[in-house]
Amino acid sequence: MIELIRSNDPVLISFAASLLADARITHSVADSHMSVIDGSINAVTNRVLVAEDQYEAARELLADAGVEA
């Protein structure tokens, strides 16, 4: 899997994951539990990972939705 986006914005992460799920693009949200434990320090960010062979399709999907990846 390859990193598509990294952010501490839970709305952005949720939106991206929803778009990817609707498009049936294999993805995973990494470090979500660590960022909650971390609190407001923002030392650990959430990451959305996608399968390498679907990376370009995922980038295009997010770009079409106005999300910079």
Q: Which residue has the higher pLDDT, 46 or 5?
A: 5
* Domains of the chain: residue spans and CATH: 2-64 (3.30.70.790)
For the chain, how many helices (H) and strands (E)? 3, 3
> What is this structure's pTM?
0.82
17, 39 contact by CB (below 8 A): no
Residue 3, pLDDT > 90, answer yes
**Per-residue pLDDT tens digits for 17-38:** 999 999 999 999 987 655 555 5
